[in-house]
Amino acid sequence: MNNFHPLILIVNDDGIDAPGIHHLAECVRTMGEVYIVAPLTPQSGQSAAMTVASPLRITEKENNIDGVRVFTVNGTPVDCVKMAIHAIVPRRPAVVFAGINHGSNSGVNITYSGTMGATIEGCIEGIPSVGFSVMDNSLGADLSLSIGFVAYIATEVISKGLPNGICLNVNIPACVIPKGIRVCRAVHGKWVDGYMRFIDPNGKPFYWLTGKFENFEPEATDTDEYWLQRNYISIVPVKCDLSAKSLIKTLAQRFDTN
């Protein structure tokens, strides 16, 4: 990897006005040539969605971060990665950093997360990629408490890269100075009671996304949730290849035909 002056691409799913993406840019702006390419509007929960039925438009914005160029795309986080690589940045990014997301992306949240959708897209492109999230949904969350850890992780990835086909899902505990970092696995769990029912003024029902996360293995000591609850930053290595390779031979005996 070219460490002399790497191009750092930063994206998010909370949109261009979210404090997290600007904080991340401040953390890494001295490490290379930094480009922010963010959705024009919030795109949380978009996962790997990309725009296929409407035109995408790129706008360069004024910014107050020295040495950082800032662009918006009227699309999803994955659109931002694709448009950045194909139409904005002057050369191939050395890394893709997504976030800092306002809200948890631990456990099964990786499946829904636009932050991690962008991270995985960078990984698919063969670029070392990291998604950063803080366990606080508030846009006023104090992100300065973890600045040293974010800078450390970013430096490690810029200087040493990541294994092919692997990206990182980094979650940061809220409202504390982290005790340290733990590399671990995603906890097994799911969201329950996902929608609340209301009645509008015309007497017709509508639904609003809500719910809570249910941890199926609260006693397990090797998961992201376990370490986050103990005020450690969790790093979960994530594979782009979702193939269940261990089952190919078994299922081939059932389904393969001549």
Q: How far apart are the C-alpha atoms of 229 and 38, rounded to whole Å?
A: 30
Beta-strand pair 212-215/166-172: unpaired
CATH architecture, domain 7-186+218-255 = 3-Layer(aba) Sandwich (3.40)
Q: How far apart are CA 243 and CA 241, in angstroms?
A: 6
CA distance 115 to 59: 21
Mean pLDDT of 161-186: 97
Position 56 scores a pLDDT of 97
What mean pLDDT, rounded, does the chain reach?
94
User: By CB neighbour count within 10 A (0-12 exposed, 13-18 middle, 19+ buried), where does 73 fall?
Assistant: buried
pLDDT at 16: 96
Report pLDDT for 4. Answer: 65
Residue 192: what pLDDT?
87
- Report the pLDDT value the prediction gives residue 136, as an integer from 0 to 100: 93
Residue 3 has pLDDT above 60, yes or no: no
Q: What is the pLDDT of residue 258?
A: 80
Residue range 232-242, pLDDT digits in tens: 999 999 999 99
CB atoms < 10 A from the CB of 226, how many?
20
How many residues are listed for the chain in this entry?
258
C-alpha dist (Å) from residue 211 to 92, 127, 128: 40, 34, 33
Judge whether residue 2 has pLDDT over 70: no
pLDDT single digits (tens) 108-153 = 999 999 999 999 999 999 999 999 999 999 999 999 999 999 999 9
Structure tokens at 180: 């340290």
Global pTM?
Answer: 0.93
| Residues whose CB is less than 8 angstroms from the CB of residue 61 and which lie 6 or more positions away in sequence, other chains included | 16, 70, 71, 72
Q: What is the DSSP letter of 247?
A: G
Task: Encode pLDDT of 65-105 as tens digits.
Answer: 888 999 999 999 999 999 999 999 999 999 999 999 999 99
Per DSSP, what are the bridge partners of residue 237? Answer: 168
Q: Confidence class of residue 1 from pLDDT cuts 50, 70 and 90?
A: very low
Q: What are phi and psi of 126, to 5 degrees?
A: 85, 20
Q: State the sign of the Cα–Cα–Cα–Cα dihedral 35, 37, 40, 42.
A: negative
Nearest to 155 by CA among 135, 180, 128, 182: 128
